Amino acid sequence: MSGRKLYELCGQDPTRVFSPFCWRSRMALALKGLEFESVPWRFTETDKLAFAAHDKVPILIDGETVVPDSWAIAQHLDRTHPDTHRLLQGPPATYRFVMGWTDSVLSPGIGRMIVSDIPALLGEERAYFIESREKRYGMKLADVTADREARLPAFRATLSPLRQVFREQPYLGGAAPDYADCIVFGSFMWARSTSPLPLLEPDDAVFAWRERMLDAAGGMARQAPCFGA
């Protein structure tokens, strides 16, 4: 056993991991070819993370080292395994923009498309999730995603920066995926794990890139429990 454990967000099914941030770390580990044991974690299990003095997943336990936060995990993996696939090809600072776009445009956009599908996956923590998210959005979750089919074209239009990149190269990282791909892909896996809504059209360059990412690292993401949309 590698002694490497990743605490990951799930609902009733411990194998259906759906946090965008957990997917960043999961994909980063896969790209680097590093095995890990997944430790399922639910929204309300704050006490289970007390050991890390942190209240969110992902948290990586790597031998004796505890690394909370997906961004810290990426840097940790490159530092401890410099000879396998580089996640960060330049200084970490140069990855902040793709992260800023993902966190302020892509993920909020996806959230408004899928959030009402998430409660069905949850167990005891369902009430907590619904209450906290309805407070955040200021409305019922069903209202957040109302007319989502009609809003799909506007959502897809926000992906134009990705399309510009894929005209020139197959991955954000260039000829091969790097951590920028993990960041953006994480949000798409959040959608794919939780919602049957087809976010992308098959003739979209972003769809083709997502297919490549699903097949990357031995098809790890392709094999994950998903709606497949």
Distance CA 179, CA 177 (A): 7
Q: Which is nearer to a second copy, 107 or 194 (CB)?
A: 107
> Which positions from 6 to 45 touch a second copy by CB under 8 A, shown as an x/- string?
----------------------------------------
- Angle at alpha carbon of residue 9, lines to 29 and 2, rounded to 5°: 35
Task: Find the part of the chain contacting a second copy (CB under 8 A) among 18-26, 111-119, 143-151, 166-174.
Answer: 166-174
Residues 135-164 that bind a second copy (CB under 8 A): 160-164
φ, ψ (nearest 5 deg) of residue 174: 120, -125
Kindly state the smallest distance separating residue 201's Cβ from a second copy, in Å.
18
Pick between residue 207 and residue 227 the one whose CB is nearest to a second copy.
207
Tell the smallest beta-carbon distance from residue 121 to a second copy (Å).
Answer: 28
Smaller CB distance to a second copy: residue 90 or 153? 90
The backbone region for 33, taken as left when phi is positive above 0, alpha when psi lies in -120 to 50, beta otherwise, is left
Check binding of 221 to a second copy (CB under 8 A): no
The helix/strand/coil state of 173 is coil
| Per-residue mark of binding to a second copy, 179-208 (x: CB under 8 A) | -x----------------------------
Structure-token pair, residue 69: 């936060």
Q: Which residues is 8 bridged to in the sheet? A: 40
Contact with a second copy (CB under 8 A): which of 34, 87, 165, 191?
A: 165
Distance from the Cα of residue 9 to its chain's centroid: 10
Nearer to a second copy, 29 or 206 (CB): 206
Q: Which residues of 188-220 are buried (b: 16+ CB within 10 A; e: fewer)?
A: bbbbbbbbebebbeeebbbbebbeebbebbeeb
How far, in Å, CA of 228 to CA of 194, rounded? 10
> In a 3-state reduction of DSSP, which class is residue 62?
strand
Applying the rule CB under 8 A, the residues between 81 and 140 that interact with a second copy are: 88-101, 103-105
Q: Kindly report the backbone phi and psi dihedral angles of residue 18, in degrees, each rounded to the nearest multiple of 5, phi listed first.
A: -135, 5
Say how far residue 127 (Cα) sits from the centre of its chain.
23
Neighbours of 44 (CB within 10 A): 15
Number of residues that bind a second copy (CB under 8 A): 32
- Please say which residue, 100 or 196, places its beta carbon nearer to a second copy: 100
Rounded to a whole number of angstroms, the minimum distance from the CB of residue 24 to a second copy is 15
Binding positions for a second copy, rule: CB under 8 A: 88-101, 103-105, 160-165, 168-169, 171-175, 178, 180
